Amino acid sequence: MSEGTIKTHLSRLMAKLGLTSRAQAVVLSYDCGLVEPATR
């Protein structure tokens, strides 16, 4: 996949989720339990 393809997919996914930034996507992924904070 090209970089442009990935950016397009990311943009469309964020639009469907009503997100305006990648930071919001990170917060949503934590809230939904898709990722967990790293432990030290």
Domain ranges of the chain: 1-40
Band of the pLDDT at 26, cuts 50, 70, 90?
very high
38 pLDDT more than 90: no
Mean pLDDT score, 2-17: 96
pTM, to two decimals: 0.69
The C-alpha angle 37, 1, 5, rounded to 5 degrees, equals 85
